[in-house]
Amino acid sequence: MASVFTRIIAGEIPGRIIWEDDQCVAMLDIRPLHSGHCLVIPKQEVDHWVDLDPNLAGHLVKVARNIGEAQQRSLNPVRVGLMIAGFEVPHTHLHVVPMDSMADLDFSQADPNPDRALLDQVAEDLRQALTAMGHGEFVRTQ
């Protein structure tokens, strides 16, 4: 059975995808730890990140860095954190989280009902930042 991420990538379920290339997508998390929290997800379903092909793993980190730079530019957090947890969905995904403190990495504090208009605005802001950074060919608009 396809993971929820595979179904989003295939367009079966809506998602706020801001980046797409031949190997991965990046999208806003629907239960953000902090405004602008994104996930970088390989198109290939791999449950545990240690099972990723090393080249794909490197690509995911490179994309996460681009997303983090866009978050820094558009949201101006104190830091941008990068984390791989792997418990929520059995499909590898990197959390790229704008942070003002370590408390912003506490999954028990995730927002279960974020403002949809705010999510849409943040997605658009990140798309604009990525385009300004020269990554327009990978920016995915809804």
CB 28 within 8 A of CB 95: no
Residue 52: both structure tokens together: 């990723």
Give phi and psi for 40, each to the nearest 5. Answer: -110, 120
Known catalytic membership, residue 95: no
CB 44 within 8 A of CB 56: yes
* Catalytic residue, candidates 34, 37, 91, 93: 93
Residue at token pair 């681009």: 66
Residue 8: both structure tokens together: 């989003």
Return all residues near 29 (Cβ < 8 A) that are at least 6 apart: 37, 38, 39, 95, 110
Residue at token pair 């031949």: 22
Catalytic residues: 93
